[in-house]
């Protein structure tokens, strides 16, 4: 199989079975594990993480339906932003898809993760990726992150009234990191595709896109957002803001295809509490 091209043509069952057959893993030290994912990419993960790491080490893939959707959507030469890149699973895939004429900006706020993200980009020899240790937000400044000890995919920006000393939750640590709006990275160019997975910070991140989403020309045509209305102060207002500037939503089904959805569904009680939603402009 030729990765990433064949990701678009096979079905999900074939992909998952093939990835498991190709999986390899070796301990680097007491915590880090080097593994092969999607039968191609080398990735270091931390064995203390129970969110992404077990899937990458033992299965060799993560969210296969999203993987296939991205492979069917992103084109060579595009500029892509991976917001909430974690250890870089989607960053590596995007870098391969856009090729040497494209580029990827990967943003990750967690200090414990960003070093592995940088290392994974280097391990795979991608020179079209830029990594930024920053939280995407509406403004320039600093934010506090809540860092679940065992769930490294669940770091979240804390509200202004939340305590930061960790005494209220022994299962978490805390970190203050720099934040910046996405449109402050204008030297990277206006992206054609932005993936946002930020554990509830999506409305602020969208606000930080500014003219990149409000202009008819030179605006971002494709947003893939982890839609989590229970985490938003005003989910209806966020959805209205997206619709007002021309974005139409679709869900990503289990086969990796976009299917129409409704405002009522997105503002209702979602089965898992969140959905990956594809917002596109015509």
Q: In this predicted structure, what is the pLDDT of residue 166?
A: 47
Measured distance CA(159)–CA(143) in Å, rounded? 9
- Which DSSP letter does residue 181 get? -
* Three-state secondary structure call for residue 42: strand
Backbone angles phi, psi at 105, to 5 degrees: -110, 120
Structural domains in the chain plus CATH codes = 5-280 (3.40.50.150)
- Summarised one tens digit per residue, pLDDT across range 141-199 is 999 998 888 888 888 888 765 655 544 677 888 899 999 999 999 999 999 999 999 98
Average pLDDT over residues 29-58: 97
Please count the other Cβ atoms lying within 10 Å of the Cβ belonging to residue 185.
17
Average pLDDT of the chain to the nearest whole number: 93
């Amino acid at each position: 199989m030729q990765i990433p091209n064949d990701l678009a043509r096979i079905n999900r069952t074939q992909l998952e079975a093939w990835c498991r057959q190709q999986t390899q893993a070796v301990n680097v030290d007491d915590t880090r594990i080097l593994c092969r994912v999607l039968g191609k990419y080398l990735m270091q993960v931390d064995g203390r993480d129970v969110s992404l790491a077990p899937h990458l080490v033992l299965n060799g893939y993560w969210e296969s339906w999203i993987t296939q959707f991205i492979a069917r959507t992103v084109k060579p030469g595009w500029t892509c932003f991976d917001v909430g890149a974690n250890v870089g699973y989607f960053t590596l895939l995007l870098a391969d898809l856009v090729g040497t004429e494209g580029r990827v900006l990967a943003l990750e706020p967690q200090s414990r993760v960003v070093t592995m993200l940088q290392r994974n980009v280097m391990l795979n020899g991608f020179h079209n990726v830029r990594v930024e240790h920053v939280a995407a937000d509406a403004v320039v400044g600093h934010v506090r992150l809540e860092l679940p000890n065992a769930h490294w995919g669940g770091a979240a920006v804390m509200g202004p009234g939340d305590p930061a000393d960790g005494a209220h939750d022994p299962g978490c640590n805390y970190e203050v990191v720099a934040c910046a709006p996405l449109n402050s990275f204008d030297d990277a160019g206006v992206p054609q595709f932005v993936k946002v997975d930020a554990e509830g910070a999506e409305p602020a991140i969208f606000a930080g896109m500014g003219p990149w989403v409000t202009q008819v020309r030179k605006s971002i045509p494709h947003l893939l957002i982890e839609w989590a209305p229970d985490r938003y102060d005003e989910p209806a207002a966020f959805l209205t803001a997206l619709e007002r500037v021309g974005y139409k939503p679709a869900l990503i089904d289990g086969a990796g295809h976009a299917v129409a959805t409704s405002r009522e569904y997105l503002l209702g009680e979602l089965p898992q509490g969140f959905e990956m939603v594809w917002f596109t402009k015509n």
